[in-house]
Amino acid sequence: MGVIRDLSVQGLQMMLVLALAPLLTGWVRRLKARLLRRRGPPLLQPYRDLWRLMRKEVVLAHNASWLFRVAPYLIFAATWVAAALIPTFATGLLFSWSADLIAITALLGSARFFLALAGMDVGTSFGGIGSSREVMIASLAEPAMIMIVFSLALLAHSTQLSTVAGFMLSSNVGLRVTLAMALVALLMVAVAENGRIPIDNPATHLELTMVHEAMVLEYSGRHLAVLELASFLKLLLYISLIACVFVPWGLAPVGSGLAAAGIGLVAYLGKLVVAGAMLAIFETSMAKMRVFRAPQYLGAALMLGLLGALLLFVSRGGLR
């Protein structure tokens, strides 16, 4: 029975992230519009968009290859698996040990690898520009992310997210400089990885500054729907990750009952609402950077992560 329950919790988690992701994006978009004194689309607009895209025919470029058609599913699958491995409302999920934080980072790397390839497949100038900028941003964002993982793993003595969350819930955390640095760095990386302002503008089209939108420019119909859903999921993933590591309150511990899970779910929804609101406020109060400012921004994140890890190496030597 235990296994079946665990399996269903794991399945529930997968479906939950999938169902919530468009809503989160809708919430951010709506709030951004309100902050700009526009009325804004309804909260459920992303679902409608996805449905509309799915019903449309696919227009493929003449020389689009099989990779172009397979990539959306691979990107979506890698992102979904990564999102499903992050504890949202309960820790100790059945398969949480199958991939740790480094593997989750690498799964997102796989998704990006195929996205960048898909951008180059048709052989247009916009796709190439998007891909080359994406890998430039990733080449700094990924090491920054790994350094954040190092800091957390050195503190919690584990790269398993459930263990890290458990450690952060326990009383012996205290306030640490490293944690503050890791949080700032993680926020910076999350903004960059999701293609949000100030690195990229998710609302732009036909502009030379775009990155993510340029790579998916040639996509249409159901393929575009899958890619959009994957990018919604990615935003949810990063918010869940920050919530799970830095504000783990409310997470249902291993083997707890339904009530704890319910509390966890409500807490999780609350965290999403707050994080979405913070993102909207941040984005409306910022202007987009030039593309070649992005390396400085991400270099700062990398340095923060590295300094955080170094502090731990130097200060906690010989402990374990």
Residues within window 79-98 making contact with other proteins, judged by CB under 8 A? 80-81, 84, 95, 97-98
Stretch that binds other proteins, among 31-39, 172-180, 235-243, 301-309 (CB under 8 A): 301-309
| 50 vs 270: CA distance, rounded Å | 25
Residues 150-189, interacting with other proteins (CB under 8 A): 150, 153-154, 157-160, 163
DSSP H or E stretch at residue 195: none
Near other proteins by CB under 8 A: residue from 6, 43, 47, 124: 124
Nearer to other proteins, 100 or 283 (CB): 100
Near other proteins by CB under 8 A: residue from 13, 31, 142, 191: 142
227 lies in the binding site for other proteins (CB under 8 A) = no
98 DSSP 8-state letter: G
Near other proteins by CB under 8 A: residue from 32, 133, 196, 234: 133
Decide if 58 contacts 222 (C-beta within 8 A).
Answer: yes
| 215 vs 192: CA distance, rounded Å | 16
57 DSSP 8-state letter: P
Nearer to other proteins, 133 or 271 (CB): 133
- At its nearest, how many Å lie between other proteins and the CB of residue 260? 21
Nearer to other proteins, 267 or 309 (CB): 309
Stretch that binds other proteins, among 137-145, 239-247, 249-257, 265-273 (CB under 8 A): 137-145
Kindly state the tokens that stand for 98. Answer: 């199958």
Site string for other proteins, 31-70 (x = CB under 8 A): -----------------------xxxxxxxxxx-xxx---
| 221 vs 64: CA distance, rounded Å | 15
127 lies in the binding site for other proteins (CB under 8 A) = yes
Decide if 177 contacts 183 (C-beta within 8 A).
Answer: no
7 lies in the binding site for other proteins (CB under 8 A) = no
Kindly state the tokens that stand for 186. Answer: 């993680």
Q: Of 88, 86, 111, 105, which Cα lies nearest the Cα of 96? A: 86
73 lies in the binding site for other proteins (CB under 8 A) = yes
CA triple 26-27-33, angle to 5 deg: 90
Kindly state the tokens that stand for 146. Answer: 């790994």
